[in-house]
A = this chain, B = another copy of it.
Amino acid sequence: MGKPNARDRILTAAGQLFHHQGYSNVGINEIIKQADTAKASFYQHFRSKEALCEAWLQDVHDRSETSRADIIAATETSVEDRLITYYEHLSAFLTNSNFRGCPYTNTSAMVDTECTGVVHQIRMHKESLREFFVLLVQSGYPDGDTEILTKIGNQLFILYSGAATESQNLGDLWPVESAKQASLQLLSSIE
């Protein structure tokens, strides 16, 4: 139960600050103060602020990946119910973070294309999220036409993204509910 090592403390602090204030609005000094560590320790573990950003996004990705894998694996539950569960996760996440939205999308708005590492991290995550929705749909319709199921999966991905984005913009949960309903409607059109 002791203090985690400096690297983990930095990653945790940076995660909170980046998410709540945005990458560009957080400085190294603020991060090391929150992490209760020294600047020299920071640069011992991370080449630069940008490298920290990459590590943070990687960390978030790894966590969310396992949570999605669980949902894909729960084939004893219907696609619809698993989708609803996933939207409940989103709801809780947004409420919990004061409607700060998707860390990847927010970061994408702040870095330019020269930050290739960060941009790559964002695209990897988004592609993986898209694939999750496709797999989810496929798992519910094993005999369905792959092309159609992929199309619907892509659409669910966009609805999910729009829900997170507009919940953040409006500071309200209704877009989440709305996107969930639309997703169910699109799913019901498969047969």
**A residues at B contact (CB < 8 Å):** 21-22, 24-25, 98, 101, 104-106, 108-110, 112-113, 122-123, 126-127, 151, 154-155, 157-163, 165-166, 168-171, 174-175, 178-179, 181-182, 185-186, 189
Which residues of B lie under 8 Å from residue A98 when comparing CB positions? 113
Q: Is the CB of B161 within 8 A of A166?
A: yes
A-B contact pairs, 15 of them (CB 8 A): A25-B112, A104-B169, A105-B105, A105-B109, A105-B169, A109-B168, A123-B171, A126-B170, A155-B182, A158-B162, A158-B175, A159-B182, A161-B162, A165-B165, A182-B182
Cα A165 to Cα B126 in complex, Å, equals: 11
Cα A182 to Cα B175 in complex, Å, equals: 16
Indicate how many identical chains form the complex.
2
Known A-B contacts: A155-B182, A159-B159. Give 12 more (CB < 8 A). A101-B108, A101-B109, A105-B165, A105-B169, A122-B169, A123-B171, A155-B178, A157-B162, A158-B175, A158-B179, A161-B162, A186-B186
